[in-house]
Amino acid sequence: MSEPGLDTQHVLRKFDYLVAQKSSLQSLHVDHWKSHDQAILTLSSAILGLSFAFSNQVPRPLSASWALYGAWIAFVLAVISTLVSFRLGDADALWHIANLDRQLARIRDEIPPPERPSSYAKHLLWVNNASGVLFAVGLILLLVFTIANLNVGARK
């Protein structure tokens, strides 16, 4: 027959292991989003700057100028949405800190905390996804513009 303390110890060790695994995976998840945001911000800014700098070197008349303007708009919106996602992420973290403070106060008073999700989390996910989509749209439109204008230069 097993001792009651051993079963409790086993459950606590398993719980600690699972909490550590979850913490590790959450850290990995945060690192991936940081990398995503940094890549979108860096690449959008660089491509936007380069395309501005070299737009004067494209032979006139411009073919598919709508694609260049659309690419610029998409890259600017990608940068803006990434910057907004930084602020939403901060607001979400502050919400969770305040929620943890409330839970700790309730535990001290032996009152169970309410369960309600952060209102920032869904906005943060949407804005992060929007920055990736806008970056892809900007690349595609810039590619269309470049191909259309390379063909014009080759035909002359």
Q: What is the spatial distance between Cα 1 and Cα 32, in angstroms, rounded to a whole number? A: 48
Average pLDDT over the chain reads 77
Cβ 153 vs Cβ 63: under 8 Å: no
Stated as kind and residue range, the H or E segment containing 15 is helix 4-54
When mean pLDDT is compared across 39-43, 74-78, 110-114, 121-125, the lowest value belongs to 110-114
pLDDT at 34: 83
Residue 1 pLDDT grade (very low, low, confident, very high; cuts 50, 70, 90): very low
Top pLDDT among 32 and 117 is at 32
CA dihedral 92, 131, 41, 57 (to 10 degrees): -160
Evaluate if residue 109 carries a pLDDT over 80: no
Q: What is the pTM of this model?
A: 0.54
CA distances from 139 to 32, 49, 150 (A): 21, 13, 16
pLDDT digits (tens, 9 = 90+) for 41-82: 888 888 888 887 877 777 777 777 888 888 888 888 888 888
Encoding tokens for residue 88?
A: 């939403």
Closest Cα partner for 133 from 71, 68, 78? 78
Q: Is 60 left (phi over 0), alpha (psi -120 to 50) or beta?
A: beta
Encoding tokens for residue 3?
A: 């001792």
Evaluate if residue 153 carries a pLDDT over 60: no
Average pLDDT over every residue of 116-143: 80
Evaluate if residue 11 carries a pLDDT over 50: yes
Cβ 52 vs Cβ 145: under 8 Å: no
Q: What is the spatial distance between Cα 109 and Cα 116, in angstroms, rounded to a whole number? A: 20
Kindly calculate the radius of gyration of the chain based on its CA atoms and give it in whole angstroms.
Answer: 25
Q: What is the spatial distance between Cα 67 and Cα 149, in angstroms, rounded to a whole number? A: 11
Cβ 118 vs Cβ 29: under 8 Å: no
Q: What is the spatial distance between Cα 74 and Cα 58, in angstroms, rounded to a whole number? A: 20
Evaluate if residue 137 carries a pLDDT over 50: yes
Average pLDDT over every residue of 15-37: 81
